[in-house]
Chain A
């Protein structure tokens, strides 16, 4: 009422805005009653709700204050959400203290860990002087590598790269490391893994091995002692028949520093968390890892539930996948590495050294022809090792009886040979019609500064770049091989066959009572006849 502007005398509605003349005059009571009505309405609005303790009057007041403060556009469309938010804000104030305690820790803890990476220790200045004397620094230049890979669109954010850089610095100060490299990042379901490929200084590894062996011998002695006690007890009880099944001899893992165990790997979930050393990989683990395909969870002690059962937990599976990826995708420009000239070229040659006379070919050539790249990690044979070993030869620990049996049952193990060390990647087989590698230049617009990028199609996530004398390999992915067909898990072995039938154990129906009686009667008749004959003969005499 009364909002339509001053009416001219000739218009209908003139004078209706005066008190006492509006169309609703009969409904509005007089002034006194109107004030009372207003008070009643206000008292109603001020009524506190029994459920929430709020009242409509204050609620509207808060909403209008908020709207007038913020002045959003198209307020009428979002008025309900504004109302909801105001109500929500009321509740938040009461529960503030509880919520603060829950929410703050994770973010700030992680921030503190990251900050700890930046702190420089007091004794580090001495270390720096030593490093200069010793020659090349062990710390890899992660940022430089990240720059080159970024030209191809591969890599982590700069912040994360820098945290990893600092984490490597910590690793080097803690562990006795000779060379170190950022291998890559493997994604997992709950957490990811950041992996460092490391060569420990020579003395340190032997000490660790000896410690391991000592622990093992002590454990064996304990077992022997217990076993003797058990045997004494068991002599009194009849023992169940022992099974004559002898599992196939275990293929020994390669020694630290050679083949699949050439490098030692350290992993951490995030930069800032402690580095954990992965155990060396055994051939059985590699053979099994080829048959299963599992996501990593991010916890190193998680069990791997699979068929065929994986001998180990997630740490072993991770190590096996790292070994496979390294063997399959670590490449360098052809000619960068060469076999040492002093030693004779053996087929199983594992060592290589840098070629001082290496001339880096131009980027265009590196992209066009895959023959410009070569593997510098030995491929893994079917056996699970890089160097083939005849499992039947290993019989030092077996009993003497066992040796004789083994010689009889020895199968012909065919010697497996893999490709020699520095094979060109152009000889890698593709799958169906997909080549094993895809080569690209990082940019076509500025060819003078472009670098050559290789992507592996067999292990999606493995990349390599080369620019002049610099090259590097890296892996970012889930840690699985690409297969054009779906993964088919191994079938369980066939059920045990029954013992072959022989006459001695073939079933036959038992004779029935009648048959037995008939047989008995027949036997008695025969006996009686025989007696009669004897009597007859006796009488003759």
Chain B
């Protein structure tokens, strides 16, 4: 969620019970603008918080002029001192899938891969590295996975220019109440994969400037999907909660420009989803 509209946004997602203490909010209000100045980001988003067993990680994202470019991510243990995270690599993502369980809360903690997955450990040893995975790498990979899987934006909020870069749509005035209840009005904010699979008939209806991303309707499991859509306060806020990554909450106030998502959770994928629906 936008750093500048953080207080209002936090009260809109508080329906899930998770939030930030006044101390942390005040700290964020002071440190996020400084981040923007130091790293010369155009926008700073507060991504959320991953609860470890002994401590929590607070994550912020910085965006450059092209909103769809890979984002810089920073983490902090106290919302004041931020450290930049390296971009995620495919190798990190593959290793992070193996590691299960809670985050420990200590960035230098090392997961011993020999116990978890001996083959991956053997591969690492062969390539000359130790068979461990640092919690920091797991953090990077988890954030990337969450963003790819459930980072969503409303339809029409972002436009793609003919040059290929993506900007906020200044003409976006919010979804209507009817549109806001439909899963097809929201897009994953990552590289689209579904667009080529659509039939020509569907493609004819698409507007290439706004419909350049995957919509949510095709999220597995089909039918009920992996999202819970609720209208709170009698329809003045629409809140989507992901069932695949429990803790991700997206909010949007229909007919206004306010929207955003935040993650408050343990950083674990809910693999039991098919049994729970």
Chain A residues proximal to chain B, CB less than 8 Å: 72, 78, 81-82, 85, 102-103, 106-111, 113-114, 150-160, 184-185, 187-192, 292-295, 432-435, 438, 442-443, 445, 455, 457, 460-461, 476-478, 480, 484, 486-487, 489
Q: List 27 A-B contacts (CB under 8 A).
A: A81-B169, A102-B178, A106-B177, A106-B235, A107-B233, A110-B234, A151-B23, A154-B19, A155-B17, A156-B14, A156-B17, A157-B12, A160-B14, A187-B16, A187-B228, A189-B228, A293-B272, A293-B276, A294-B275, A295-B243, A432-B101, A438-B53, A438-B54, A443-B21, A484-B100, A484-B101, A487-B276
Q: How many A-B residue pairs have CB under 8 A?
A: 115
Q: How far is the CB of A469 from chain B (nearest CB, A)?
A: 22
Q: Are B234 and A111 in contact (CB under 8 A)?
A: yes
Chain B residues with CB under 8 A of A81: 169, 171
Q: Are B230 and A190 in contact (CB under 8 A)?
A: yes
Complex CA–CA separation, A3 to B230 (angstroms): 58
Main secondary structure of the interface of A (DSSP, over half): loop
Chain A residues with CB under 8 A of B275: 292-294, 487, 489
Complex CA–CA separation, A295 to B176 (angstroms): 28
Complex CA–CA separation, A106 to B236 (angstroms): 9
Q: How far is the CB of B58 from chain A (nearest CB, A)?
A: 11
Q: Of B15, B53, B54, which contacts A156 at CB under 8 A? A: B15
Interface string of B23-52 (1 = CB under 8 A from A): 110000000000000000000000000010
Q: Are B19 and A155 in contact (CB under 8 A)?
A: yes
Chain B residues with CB under 8 A of A192: 15, 230
Q: How far is the CB of B211 from chain A (nearest CB, A)?
A: 14
Number of contact residues on B: which range applies?
35 or more
Q: Of A72, A153, A184, A457, which contacts B19 at CB under 8 A? A: A153
Complex interface residues of chain B between 219 and 242 (CB less than 8 A to chain A):
224, 228, 230-231, 233-236, 241
Q: Are B16 and A476 in contact (CB under 8 A)?
A: yes
Q: Is B246 an interface residue (CB 8 A)?
A: yes
Known: A151-B22, A293-B276, A487-B272. A82 touches B171 (CB 8 A): yes
Complex CA–CA separation, A400 to B230 (angstroms): 56
Q: Is B92 an interface residue (CB 8 A)?
A: no
Give the residue name and chain of the A residue nearest to B173 (CB). A85
Q: How far is the CB of A310 from chain B (nearest CB, A)?
A: 13
Chain B residues with CB under 8 A of A155: 14, 17, 19
Q: Are A188 and B276 in contact (CB under 8 A)?
A: no
Known: A160-B14, A438-B54. A152 touches B21 (CB 8 A): yes
Q: Which 3 pairs between the two chains have the least Cβ-Cβ distance?
A: A110-B234, A476-B17, A153-B21
Q: How far is the CB of B125 from chain A (nearest CB, A)?
A: 24
Q: How far is the CB of A264 from chain B (nearest CB, A)?
A: 23
